[in-house]
A = this chain, B = another copy of it.
Amino acid sequence: MKVGELAAATGLTVRTLHHWEERGLVVPSARTASGHRVYDEGDVRRVYQVVALRELGLPLEAISGLLASGSFGAVLAAHLEQVDARLAALHSLRGTLAGVVERLHDVPDPALSDVLEMIDEVSRVNDTFAQYFTPEQVAELQARRAEGEATAAEWPGLIAAVRAEMDAGTDPADPRVRELAARWDRLLESFHRGDPELGARLDRMRVENTGEVIAAGGPDQAMIDYIGRARPSG
């Protein structure tokens, strides 16, 4: 088999086969008198082996090591750890990036300073979330916020409405306030979906980061208490 045929058969390029030969991965076992590469059946098998291992994302050097030594367990486990690390880093990056992109929607013509502030803020928020929730939970919450974006957008209006009733001195038991409290709980529900642990962690986070929550337009403790008194049970 000549390189072109082998390349066509495997979907690789001729250059790739040349490169693998340079690296000592697949050296054709023969050449014609004029120097053309000739791959025999064993060489072809070897190529498919390299292809398979390369699909696991292994660097060529590791592949040649594996084909020589055969210590798959250790190498693949180490590689898996490394992939996990890259995955975690990329996932965290995606979170920051998505947060920034989302906020950019609200600013018509953002200046550089706005973007830098957003990066800072989103990073801080994500770090804070990471302290209170496991990576899986964070991913879940992000996914939910993405799908229910419109829902989350109701918070500012709702908070403003509650603030207005508080300032007006309305009794928490007033039907209007009870209605607001019901909306409040529906929004909360869309966040933790009935998982009490998620709700508890969220509340702990809110209590321990009161300042940041208020700075971000969130409710203060007085409002939380007011809503609590407005609930039928409270």
Chain A residues engaging chain B, CB cutoff 8 angstroms: 49, 52-53, 55-57, 66-67, 70, 72-73, 76-77, 79-80, 83-84, 86-87, 90-91, 93-94, 96-98, 100-101, 104-105, 110-112, 115-116, 119-120, 123, 136, 143
Cα distance A83–B77 in the bound complex, in angstroms? 25
Cα distance A84–B101 in the bound complex, in angstroms? 13
Interface of A is mostly: helix
B90 adjacent to A56 (CB under 8 Å)? no
Cα distance A84–B123 in the bound complex, in angstroms? 18
Contact of A93 among B52, B57, B100, B112 (CB under 8 A): B57
Contact of A101 among B80, B98, B111, B136 (CB under 8 A): B80
A93 adjacent to B56 (CB under 8 Å)? yes
Given A72-B104, A90-B87, A104-B72: A98 and B80 interface contact (C-beta under 8 Å): yes
Given A57-B97, A87-B91: A104 and B76 interface contact (C-beta under 8 Å): yes
Identify the closest chain B residue to A113 (Cβ). Answer: B49
Distance (whole angstroms) from the CB of A135 to the closest CB of chain B? 10
Distance (whole angstroms) from the CB of A133 to the closest CB of chain B? 15
B97 adjacent to A76 (CB under 8 Å)? yes
Contact of A119 among B56, B67, B77, B115 (CB under 8 A): B56
A112 adjacent to B76 (CB under 8 Å)? no
Given A52-B119, A116-B52: A94 and B80 interface contact (C-beta under 8 Å): yes
Given A80-B98, A97-B57: A73 and B110 interface contact (C-beta under 8 Å): yes
Distance (whole angstroms) from the CB of A124 to the closest CB of chain B? 13
Cα distance A123–B52 in the bound complex, in angstroms? 11
